[in-house]
Structure 1
Amino acid sequence: MSTMPQYRLIYFNARARAETSRMIFAAAGVEYEDVRITKEQWRTEKSSGKYPFDQVPCLEIDGKFVLAQSRAIGRYLANEYGFAGRSNLEKAKIDMIIDVCEELYVGVRQIFFEKDETKKAEHKADFVVKADSILAALEKIHVANNGGSGFFVGNLPTWADFEFFVRMEYAPFFDVAILDRYPKLKALVERTSSIPQIAAWLKKRPKTEF
């Protein structure tokens, strides 16, 4: 008789690169330890040599550090718990959306951590143009799947929907109204947040700036 793995997801007290995996855990109803370390703790942890690539997030399974890299962790959990698509083509479409969402994250991160206000404004102006292009393409992809009345791929939520939701939480950093220009995507964000398990997670999760 198999037993449920014991998971520890290790990251900082931030959404950033770990939140999609947290949402998969929530949607799947799988218990895990949400380990949130401080920057000071990380200095000690990093020097321990036990983290692959000396980075977090890391997923520990049954007491062993098995996975680093946020998308590898998310893909593993999505495959384990039914949020990765039902065919190789669906999986590829999901990966496509995940990869372009990474571009959204990198752009927002550059804005968030820029200290020079002039450069920050320049980054925002440039990024809004890029984000508009990405969102326009994603809206077409979404509409092509059941008219945009459900989720990105297939008939059920996948980790692509969770990833997109997480990235759109950062919209206020560059354009608070950007989703108003993409009503199908805005409805997708609302639909994702209304999934009961996700809604419960959003209500109880720690409040963080980034």
Structure 2
Amino acid sequence: MPSYKLYYFNGRGLGEVSRLIFTVAGEQFEDIRYEREHWPEHKAEMPLGQMPVLEVDGVKLPQSAAIARFLAKRFNLAGKDDLEQAQVDAVVDTMYDLLKAFLPVFREQDEAKKEQMTKKFFGDDLPKHLQNLETLAKLYGKGGPFFVGNHLTWADLFFHPFLETLLGVNEKVLDNNPWLKQNRAEVEKNPKIAEYLKNRPKTEF
């Protein structure tokens, strides 16, 4: 039986999608969480000096998307055939576009500048990215509540925690996107996910 260790900070961030994949699959893994002040002690242990990192039977794999895609394929959450897998990847890549737009806002230290950037992001940038996601869902979701093929994939599991962070900043971000709001609700209906969300560590992001 394979041995899995997931190394990440004590937060959701880019590691949460992989935790959710393990959860849905019912697979055991060691959830190794580092507090930020302790991270410098372990940085040299990681292939690229960054996290998340997945260790599989002693082999360390970096890069969040590569980790999640590997796990999704292994546990049948990547799409049922090559075309579905490509559609899932297209949705995920669109989510990464959204993430790239948000990260400068998240990392800005100057409070006045951060407030200005936040207003622009939530007013102009975010609605466009959310509309792009809904467009793909209409193309690939077959009329169901999931992004691709009317069944749960890692695209749904990636969207859920990322939007949780944005909802923590502005709880109304999905008010104009009822399909996306329903998608998150459907993910939470999964009994394993519901149990995990209830018991996981409480973190800011």
TM-score, normalised to structure 2, is: 0.93
How do 1:14-163 residues align onto structure 2 when only pairs under 5 Å count?
A: 14-47=11-44, 50-62=45-57, 64-128=58-122, 129-144=124-139, 145-147=141-143, 149-163=144-158
Q: CA RMSD in A?
A: 1.5
**1:157-191 deviation per Cα after TM superposition (whole angstroms, max 9, x unaligned):** 00000111111102235532121101111111111
Q: How many residues align?
A: 203
Shift of 1:30: 0.3
In the alignment, is the contact (CA less than 8 A) between 1:10 and 1:59 conserved in 2?
Answer: yes
2:4 aligns with: 7
CA–CA separation in structure 1 for the residues paired with 2:167 and 2:113: 17
**1:122-153 deviation per Cα after TM superposition (whole angstroms, max 9, x unaligned):** 21122121110111121122233222x32111
Indicate the SS of the match to 2:33.
Answer: strand
In the alignment, is the contact (CA less than 8 A) between 1:17 and 1:70 conserved in 2?
Answer: yes
CA–CA separation in structure 1 for the residues paired with 2:136 and 2:5: 34
CA–CA separation in structure 2 for the residues paired with 1:88 and 1:172: 33
CA–CA separation in structure 1 for the residues paired with 2:160 and 2:145: 14
Indicate the SS of the match to 1:8.
Answer: strand
> What 5-or-longer segments of structure 1 have no aligned partner?
none
Q: Which amino acid aligns with 1:14?
A: G
1:186 aligns with: 181
CA–CA separation in structure 1 for the residues paired with 2:118 and 2:20: 28
CA–CA separation in structure 2 for the residues paired with 1:130 and 1:7: 37
CA–CA separation in structure 1 for the residues paired with 2:161 and 2:36: 22
4+ residue segments displaced more than 4 Å: none
Percent of aligned pairs with the same amino acid: 40
Indicate the SS of the match to 1:170.
Answer: helix
Shift of 1:32: 0.4
CA–CA separation in structure 2 for the residues paired with 1:132 and 1:37: 33
